[in-house]
Every structure is written in C-alpha cells, then in structure tokens.
Amino acid sequence: MTLNPYLSGNFAPVKEEVTAYDLPVTGTIPAHLNGRYLRNGPNPLGIDDPSTPHLWTMGEGMVHGVRIRDGRAEWYRNRWIRSTSVADRLGEPRRGTPVDERMDFTPNVHVTGYAGRTYALIEGGIRPYELTYDLDTVGPAELGATPEGYSANAHSKYDPATGELHSLAFQYGNESVQHIVMDAAGRVVRTTMISTPGNPYMHDFALTDRHVLVFDSPIVFAPERLAVGIPYGWDRDRPARVGVMPREGGAVRWLELTQGTVGHTVNAYDTSRGIVVDVIVHPREWDLGDIGASRPILERWTIDLIDGHVRQDLVDDRPQDFPRINQRYAQAPHRFGYLAVTELYTIPTRPDGFGNQLLKHDGQTGTAEIHDFGRHNAVGEGVFVSSASPRTEDDGYVMTYAHDADRGATDLVILSAADFTAAPLARVHLPVRVPLGLHGSWIPDPH
C-alpha cells in the first residue's frame, strides 16, 4: 500500500477532540505570558485509509490551542471549525448561516485575534469563522466583508502604528482582487479594486507605510482542475510581476520579475528610492495541492521606483517557509526573521514531516542560526512573542508546536529568541499529537 504523505506520519489527522487541564511543563514558562497560543491547519474529517488520494490543503480546519497564565499551562483544546458541512457530519446544530453554502468551506489556514475576537481564516472568497475563547464555533463572520462579496483573508496585515488591519482578498474565478482596510474596531473603512486578468493565485501580499505590494504569478485559475480539488495550474507563458499601489488606493505600477511564485512575505518597508521586501519564493513549477513538491527559498527584493527595476537577491536557498518577525517591526527595517525548514523527509516506513529545524535569519550579518529539534521531531511555524519590556528586536520568545518522537505526542515549545540555539525555556507536554499545520498566533489576554 502506498501511503498518502499528507494522511500519514506527522501530517496524519487526529480523530478526536480533546480537552486537557493543568498540563505538565518541563522548564519555566515566562511569568508575564498571559494568553493563548493557537494554530490552525487541515484535519480531514472521516478519512480513515492513509492511502486515500487527498490534497493536504483540502482538509477541514482544526484549531489547536494552549492557554497560559502565571507560568502555568492551564488547558489544551483542539476543535474542528463547524462550517455547515462539518456540523452536519457531526450531527450538531449549524452555527449561523453562511452567505453562500457553495462557498462555505471550513477555514483551515490561519487563526488570529482582532478587535477582541478570535477568527479562523482562509481565502478565495470564503468567509472567516468566529470562535469563542475556548475555541467553540460561533459562526460565519463579517470581518472585512464588502458589498462585492470579498472578506478578510488568511494573510491580513496588522499595522501596529495605526491599528488598521489590511487584507488583499481574491475570489476563485474573479479577475480582480480587493484591498480592504479595517479600523481598530474591525469596521471596513476603505476598499480598492485591482484588476488581475487571468485570476492569478495571490496567497499573500506586502504592506509598507506608503504602499501595498501585489504579487502576480504563473499560477492561474484553471477550472478544469476542479476535479482534483484546487482549480489552479501553472501557465509557463505568464510572466511574474510585482504591483506597487499607493496605500490609500490608486493606480498599480507593475514591474516584471524572474518567473516564480511568492508564497509568503516576511516584511516590507519603504526606502528613499523605493521598497525593500523579503519574500519566500517558489522558483519552479509546482502544484498547490502538493506542498512538498516545491522547494521555496528566501529572497530579498529591492524595488527601485525611480528607475523601475527590481533587484532579486538570494538570501538562503534551503527549503524554508512560514516566516514570522517581531511584529513591532512590521513595515519598518527589521533585522531578524524566523522560518521553518520545509524539506519533506521520510523514515524507512512512512513520511514523517517537513523538517525538524527552525531558522533565525540575521539580515545584518547575513547569517542564520538553527534550532534543531532532533530527528523525527517534526516542527512547523514559529511565532515570535515579545518579552515584557523588550530592549532589542530579538528580546522575546519563539513559540511552536513540535513533535516529541519519544512520547509520540506534541509539545508546545518556548525558545529564547535571543539565545536561539539554546535548550528550550519550556516544553508544555500535550496529551496528544498535533498534526503539522499552517499558521497561528499568540493572542494575549486583555490587561
């Protein structure tokens, strides 16, 4: 039997929802941490055969969370997000009413807090879902909803200077994207439509103090691929471009690039001549349904808006993704970025995960430190959390879920961002395995 790599090993879905209290901890949790570490990801419901054909990104979303207070890990919870189809399959009452049941897929990409609420997010015109503090589903949410049918997407950008939340939302089959700006209360205050002929796949974008960056790519809408789950394919004749738009809206200036696809952005900021943006680039043809088939790399682009040229510099060619920074430096020159190694590896009998290392890139020295979790201890995205009174950019922690091969379960690991290669400050021992997933957040409790 040939195993599907996204239904086995550390990708394999869990089949039960669990609640556990007073979790054991090795080490010391920083005393000032008071909040929840949450992470979303695909967790297929009702697939028992690990050889079943299935695309990883098509699994129903499940949020995993740990609640921390006063140096203790008070609880762990995992919950499927109850879209109408999930609620129906679980035999439960529906939570709210979707705008369009045909587009009511369970959000499985991101989970974050905004305006005092918790949201699970996806993309493609599918609405976010609101969750309670304890991760139960409230229902479809209006976050970023516009009259044109767009809403907040998975990679919305928070501006710490203004309190605004920005989204660049696309819809399947629609040859326009919409830049949506929300105020600190979550109300939509401004929108701009951007024409994108061919409906390219735009998973992420970049934001600076003065600009919005839009990434056109060779991956375009291909409805004939609906039969395999994701209606996008690679157009070898389509150039890659970056579009630069004033933040307040207006015309987009397009500049051509070396062919490739931007997966995620690290950060971007304005300069006297233009913009600097660090990006994760998929440099070759790949299938959105097979994440492991691509080898994304880290590049720095210097966009000169005076002479209309983009210089693309390779920073690191190791396969890596899921970039995070200290959000206090968003839209400003940053020194450090934290990424996960994403090279798919296997053990003799089955797939095991993307990798077992986190990277800390230092843009000032051009070096990268590695935190290695040990063979077969798969790890995903690492989220930066500032210390109580930070004195430097890396004065804080990196939090991530990491598989513990010895226990056959997962730990919430808290690393010192400044002393990145040292032993973890704390490991919160969860009672179950958390499958490899996508994006998450540290959501502090209100003071």
Q: Residue 227 — very low, low, confident or very high, per pLDDT cuts 50/70/90?
A: low
β-partners of residue 258 are none
pLDDT at position 98 is 81
Cα–Cα distance for residue pair 416/397, rounded to 1 Å: 5
Q: Which positions ≥6 away from 350 have C-beta within 8 Å?
A: 3, 8, 9
β-partners of residue 78 are 64
Residues 210-224 as b/e (b if ≥16 CB within 10 A, e otherwise) read ebbbbbbbbbbbbee
Cα(first)–Cα(last) distance of the chain, in Å? 53
Average pLDDT, the chain: 93
CA–CA distances in Å: residue 97 to residues 31, 103, 109, 129: 41, 12, 21, 11
Question: Stretch 240-260: mean pLDDT, rounded?
Answer: 95
β-partners of residue 320 are 341
Cα–Cα distance for residue pair 162/212, rounded to 1 Å: 15
Tokens at 364, concatenated: 């000032």
Asked which of 40-49, 218-227, 241-250 is least confident by mean pLDDT, the reply is: 218-227
CB 401 within 8 A of CB 410: yes
Count of positions (residues) in the chain: 447
Q: Which positions ≥6 away from 300 have C-beta within 8 Å?
A: 276, 277, 278, 279, 312, 313, 315, 363
Q: Which positions ≥6 away from 109 have C-beta within 8 Å?
A: 40, 61, 121, 122, 123, 154, 438, 439
Q: Among 3, 14, 2, 1, which residue's Cα sits nearest to residue 409?
A: 14
Amino acid, res. 54: H
Q: Among 133, 109, 132, 136, which residue's Cα sits nearest to residue 121?
A: 109
Amino acid, res. 158: Y
Q: Tell me which of 226 and 76 has the higher pLDDT.
A: 76
Asked which of 97-111, 240-254, 394-408 is least confident by mean pLDDT, the reply is: 97-111
pLDDT at position 228 is 67
Q: What is the pTM of this model?
A: 0.95
Question: Stretch 120-129: mean pLDDT, rounded?
Answer: 93
Tokens at 270, concatenated: 């304005």
Q: Is residue 376 pLDDT above 70, yes or no?
A: yes
* 84 φ/ψ angles, rounded to the nearest 5 degrees: -60, -40
Cα–Cα distance for residue pair 29/179, rounded to 1 Å: 39
Vertex 323 angle, CA 321 and 324, to 5°: 160
Question: Stretch 297-312: mean pLDDT, rounded?
Answer: 97
Cα–Cα distance for residue pair 134/402, rounded to 1 Å: 22
pLDDT at position 351 is 56
pLDDT at position 346 is 52
Q: Residue 289 — very low, low, confident or very high, per pLDDT cuts 50/70/90?
A: low
CATH topology for 9-444? Methylamine Dehydrogenase; Chain H (2.130.10)
pLDDT digits (tens, 9 = 90+) for 335-346: 999 999 987 655
pLDDT at position 162 is 93
β-partners of residue 361 are 337, 368
pLDDT at position 292 is 67
Cα–Cα distance for residue pair 79/388, rounded to 1 Å: 30
pLDDT digits (tens, 9 = 90+) for 43-94: 999 998 888 888 888 899 999 999 999 999 999 999 999 999 999 999 999 9
pLDDT digits (tens, 9 = 90+) for 135-184: 999 999 999 999 999 999 999 999 999 999 999 999 988 999 999 999 99
Cα–Cα distance for residue pair 78/89, rounded to 1 Å: 17
pLDDT at position 1 is 67
